[in-house]
Amino acid sequence: MKPRHGWVIALALACHGQEGRPMPLSLSKAVEIAMAPNGSARIQIAAELTAQAEARRKQTLSALLPNVSGNYTFRSFTNNVAALGIQFPTVPGFTFKNLLGPVEVNDIRANATQSIFDLAAIKRYQASKVQVQAVKSDAEATRNQVKGNVAKAYLGAARAESSVETAKANVALAERLLRLAQSQKDAGTGTGIEITRAQVSLANEKQKLLTAREDHTTALLQLLRAMNLDLDVVPELTDKLRYAPADVPEARQVVAAARELRPELKAQARREQAARLNYESAKWERLPSVNAFGDYGTIGAVDGALLPTRTVGASVRIPLWDGGRTDAKRAESASQLRAEGIRTRDTAQQVELEIRTSLEALKTAENMVMVAREALTQSEKELAQAERRVSAGVANGLEVTEAQARVARGRENEVAAVFRQQAARIDLGVAVGNIDMILQ
């Protein structure tokens, strides 16, 4: 466990026992909690898959290492010596028994085997090592994706929080305009329909506020789920939704960086390498293999002395014909190698697609923020002018109501545009394979 995770996990566990009490939570802290060993379920599963791959590597290695076993055998037997071709001479007055036994024997022995040369087994072990590297790269890809998911979940919660604040501001604006309409009617310059129109606007904004609060609660629950925390925890976001200008790099530069950083590309390249080694393993199964063997132990009758005995030797296995199994295995591994080559090219194209779409989304979002801010500024000016015109008696309340609606929509559009821009930055970081650069 990394030291920096200690205080994060301690804080998370402490908050589990404080139902209803707010838990201050920044974006970086949320990501750290999700990345902890007991954090996101996907992180835990990735760790288990890595452990399984390492175990398979050790199983493959066992074929190349000494194999030692011990055994104890107790035998009690009888035998017909005549059936063994043993003929006793005829002695007058004496008869030899053909039945031997019962004989009871103890045999205590250690056995060992060692592969001396087996190129197919060596290639299989090399393939298993590359598979471990591929699984580790998959784990890195999972970490990159989980960071992106948690960051977007946090961003969604921050957006929902901003939407609540925007809805409150719109309610306050509607209440102020309702008071203005009431004062205009009391002064004799307004009408009852203007008050009714203002009341309808206020009711609509209150309805939006209720929806925004529900969305906020849902977004917080989704954030807790992404972090794998108890849903009774009440997170208090310390990082608000704010616009941070982003430079949009050239697609070629980003694609080149992704080739070096993206874990999925590394994982797929290693899977293709492992498939090539497995193909070579199947090909070299036609070669002879050499094994050494030996045993040492003591053997003797139960009521007699146990004498040491040994066996030492070597065996050469020369494949001649196995019913076509080797040819079929080689054809299968060749097909698997071709399939992995196809996946490698497809993965590279998919990564480039994700990068180009993320860049386009970021470029569009940057422009949307500028347009939304300009629209909000102009709608606020329009509302101020409409209020002055109504106060001067040269316009009716309809102008104020329409301007109010445009201000409310402008605020909502600004929140949506900033969220989209921040989400596009996160998507680009995930697509490149370096989400940490975005989270700093």
pLDDT at 337: 95
Residue of 265, 284, 346, 14 whose CA lies nearest to 125: 284
Burial (CB count within 10 angstroms: exposed 0-12, middle 13-18, buried 19+), residue 392: exposed
Whole-angstrom distance, CA of residue 111 vs CA of residue 89: 40
Separation of alpha carbons 174 and 209, rounded Å: 12
Tens digits of per-residue pLDDT, 323-362?
888 899 999 999 999 999 999 999 999 999 999 999 999 9
Residues 173 and 400: their CA atoms lie apart, in Å, by 11
Choose between 24 and 322: higher pLDDT.
24
Helix (H, G, I), strand (E, B) or coil at 185: helix
pLDDT tens per residue, range 129-155? 999 999 999 999 999 999 999 999 999
pLDDT at 190: 73
For residue 350, CA distances in Å to 33, 259, 265, 270, 353 come to: 30, 12, 10, 17, 5
User: In the predicted model, is pLDDT for residue 17 greater than 70?
Assistant: no
CATH code: domain 4-69+117-294+320-439 is 1.20.1600.10
**Token pair belonging to 192:** 């009852």
Percent of the chain whose pLDDT exceeds 70: 95
Provide the pLDDT confidence category of residue 20 given band limits of 50, 70 and 90. low
The answer to whether the CB of 80 falls within 8 A of the CB of 100 is yes
C-alpha pair distances (Å), 189 with each of 174, 180, 205, 388, 392? 19, 11, 26, 13, 9
Whether 399 and 384 have beta carbons less than 8 Å apart is answered as no
Mean local confidence (pLDDT), 295-304: 88
pLDDT band at 124 (very low <50, low <70, confident <90, very high): very high
Would you say the pTM of this structure is higher than 0.85? no
What is the residue extent of each domain of the chain? 4-69+117-294+320-439
The closest of 102, 107, 44, 46 to 72, measured between CA atoms, is 107
pLDDT tens figures, 25-78: 999 999 999 999 888 999 999 999 999 999 999 999 999 999 999 999 999 989
Q: For residues 114 and 372, what is the distance between their CA atoms, to the nearest angstrom?
A: 74
Each residue's pLDDT tens digit, 236-266 = 999 999 988 888 889 999 999 999 999 999 9
Q: Average pLDDT for residues 275-295, to the nearest whole number?
A: 93
